A = this chain, B = another copy of it.
Amino acid sequence: MTYDLYYWPGLPGRGEYVRLVLEAVGADYRDMARLPAAEGGGIEAMSAFLRGDKGPHVPLAPPFLVAGDLVLSQTAAIVATLGERHGLAPEAEADRLFARAIALTTADLVAEAHDVHHPVGVSLYYDDQRPEAARRAKEFRNARMPKFLGWYERLLSANPSGPEHLVADRLTYADLGLFQTIAGLGYAFPRRMASLMPDYPLVAAVCERVAAAPRIRAYLESDRRLAFNEDGIFRHYPELDGD
């Protein structure tokens, strides 16, 4: 099975959550929007799905993943479906469903991290909403970041299989999502994360473990891994950071 991933080229964004799962399971995949049009890739190939030219299961937005006749959209649903297919998910039903809830909660945190620099709306530039962004950033740093980080830490300390994973006794797509989110927050809010992270040692340990997993490490060192930048979801605007 070859997977075709569609996501905006040039930024890790939500596509990176899918890419990490594909890499972790050693899947055969193509990163379509980064391929030339001559190979069936590019933005136009992505747009065809979004316009509805490729069948009735139309995504509202990237990322989406095409697998044979399946068109999977919504990041949290894509990673859950992939994880459950490829052994990167819990086996017991209660744990399997909880992993899905964790991925959805991570997606909420990602959306909030995005809205820090776009509190008024996605169709306006950051420069057109800087005062609003400054207010939202303060709330995000002081209230929301500790709330989410504290929740992850609590899950790890409460996991009956041990604090090595968010759920069950193995690496799952939920752990990969936490890794990417902590990396993104560290890029966007280095000062705030430096002051916060000592309170969340179990979260930090999971992220180190994910980064050291052989396939993930090889991926992170490859040119397939995209660096965070100011076109993405996690943006480093120093004026929005703070201890």
A residues neighboring B (CB under 8 Å): 52, 55-60, 69-74, 76-77, 81, 93-95, 97-98, 100-101, 104-105, 108, 111, 115, 119-124, 129, 132, 135-136, 139-140, 143-144, 147-148, 151, 154-155, 158-160, 167
Residues of B within 8 A of A119 (CB): 115, 119-120, 132, 136
B140 touches A121 (CB 8 A): yes
Instruction: From A73, A140, A159, name the one whose CB has the most chain B CB atoms within 10 angstroms.
Output: A73
Docked complex Cα distance between A147 and B97 (Å): 30
Task: Report if A52-B154 is in contact (Cβ < 8 Å); known contacts: A115-B115, A120-B136.
Answer: yes
Docked complex Cα distance between A59 and B148 (Å): 11
- In whole Å, how far is A205's beta carbon from the nearest beta carbon of chain B? 18
For the complex with contacts A56-B159, A72-B97, A77-B101, 16 further pairs of A-B residues with Cβ separation under 8 Å are A55-B158, A57-B94, A57-B95, A58-B154, A58-B155, A73-B101, A74-B100, A74-B104, A77-B104, A119-B119, A120-B135, A120-B136, A120-B139, A121-B140, A132-B132, A132-B135
